[in-house]
Amino acid sequence: MKIVRNEKRGGMTIKVGVLMGGWSPEKKVSLMSGKNVVEGLKLAGLKAVPFELTGADKNEKKFEKRLKKAKFDAVFIALHGGFGEDGTLQALLDQWGIPYTGSGALACGLAMHKGCSKLVFEAKGIPSAPWHALHKTTDSKNWLKEIKLALPLVVKPADVGSAIGVTIVKKKTELTKAIRLAFKHSDWAIIEKFIPGVEVTVTVLGETALPVIEIVPKNEFYDFDAKYTPGHSDHIIPARISSSQTKSVKDLALKAGQAMGCEDYYRVDFIVPRKGQPQILEINTVPGMTLTSLVPDAAKAAGISFPALLKTLVGMALRSKKGKKA
C-alpha cells in the first residue's frame, strides 16, 4: 500500500474540492463527512475547499460551470446517497475531465442498488442472505404472497444508505408497514432473511483489506442513530471472530469489490453467523468520513492517520484514469 507524501503538483499546492451536501436523505451525513474531510486534508498540507451542492446544481450546465470555475486539481466525493454515490456524479466528472476519489460510475451504480449487488454476488458465488425484491408498482395485495421467506426479515430501500428506511420484521403483521416505509425512500424494496451473528466491516484501500472491525450498536441494530451519534455504538478492533473467519471476510471483501469493479477504497459489510459462512450485506463506494465513521477507524488500526488516508485517496484520484478524457 503506497501512502502519498508529496503535497505539491508542478510546484503548486494541490487544490482539492470537497463535494458535500446535495439533496439525498443522507445530506446531513454528507455535510458531516465533508467538514471532517476538509479539516483532514488541510492537516495533510493540501488546499481543501468545501463545495456544497444545492438544489440549483440539479441543473447540469450550472453545476458544470460552477465546478470548473473553481479549478480543482481533483475533487473528493463526500456525497452520500443518490447522485453522489449512484454513479451519476462520477459519470459527469468523467465527461468533464475532473479527477475524483473512489470508484467509477458503473461500480457505484451497481453497489448503490442492493438488488443489483445481490445479482453480482450470486453470479460470483459470494454468500449473501436469501432475498426478494419488490417494485412499488406491485399490487400491495400480492406482497405477502410473493415473499416466500420465513421470519424474521430485514426490509430496506434498494438504493438508500445510512440505514434509512430499514426495518427488522419479527411479526407477519409488521411486514406491510415495513415495505411501505421502504417505498417512501426508493422504487424498490429489498426483503432479506434476517441472519443473526456478529456484524463486521472490512475497509479496502487499494488492494489491501484493512483490519476487520466489529460493530456493536447500543440500539436494536446499526441504525442511523447508532451510526452517527457518538457513544451509540462500539467499534471493536480486532473483531471478535476466529482467524479463519477474519481471513474469509477479508478475502470476500476483495472478491466482491473486484466483481463490482470498485477502485481505490470502499467498505464491505458482513454478518458472521456462529456457524457457516460469513454473509455479505453490501458494498459502500462512498463510505462515511464522520467522526464516528468506520473507515477512519480501520485506517487508524492499520497505522494510517486520517490526514494520511485522505492524502492517499487524493493521490489515487490524480493517478487514476477516472475523470481524464481519453
Residue type (1 letter), 286:
V
User: Is 282 a known active-site residue?
Assistant: yes
Given a contact cutoff of 8 angstroms between Cβ atoms, the answer to whether 18 and 52 are in contact is: no
Pick the catalytic residue: 288, 293, 315, 320? 288
222, 228, 265, 266: the active-site residue? 228
d(CA 91, CA 324): 11
Q: Which three cell numbers stand for residue 245?
A: 473467519
Active site residue 267: yes
C-alpha cell, 247: 481471513
CA-closest candidate to residue 267, choices 46, 99, 80: 80
| CA–CA separation, 309 and 239 (whole Å) | 21
- Whether residue 219 lies in the annotated active site: no
Q: Yes or no: say if 99 and 55 are a contact pair by the CB < 8 Å rule.
A: no
Q: Where are the beta strands (DSSP E) in the chain?
A: 8-9, 12-13, 15-21, 47-53, 74-77, 131-135, 153-157, 167-169, 188-193, 198-205, 208-209, 213-217, 233-236, 265-272, 279-284
284 labelled catalytic: yes
Name the catalytic one among 30, 33, 117, 162: 162
Q: Which of 257, 269, 315, 323 is catalytic?
A: 269
User: Which of 282, 315, 320, 323 is flagged as catalytic?
Assistant: 282
231 contact partners, CB below 8 Å, separation of at least 6: 218
Neighbours of 13 (CB within 10 A): 12
CA dihedral 227, 166, 190, 140 (to 10 degrees): -170
> Which is catalytic among the residues 233, 267, 315, 320?
267
Per the DSSP assignment, residues forming a β-bridge with 133 are 190
From the CB of residue 30, how many other CB atoms can be counted at a distance below 10 Å?
A: 29
CA 192 to chain centre: 19
The residues that are catalytic are: 26, 162, 228, 267, 269, 282, 284, 288
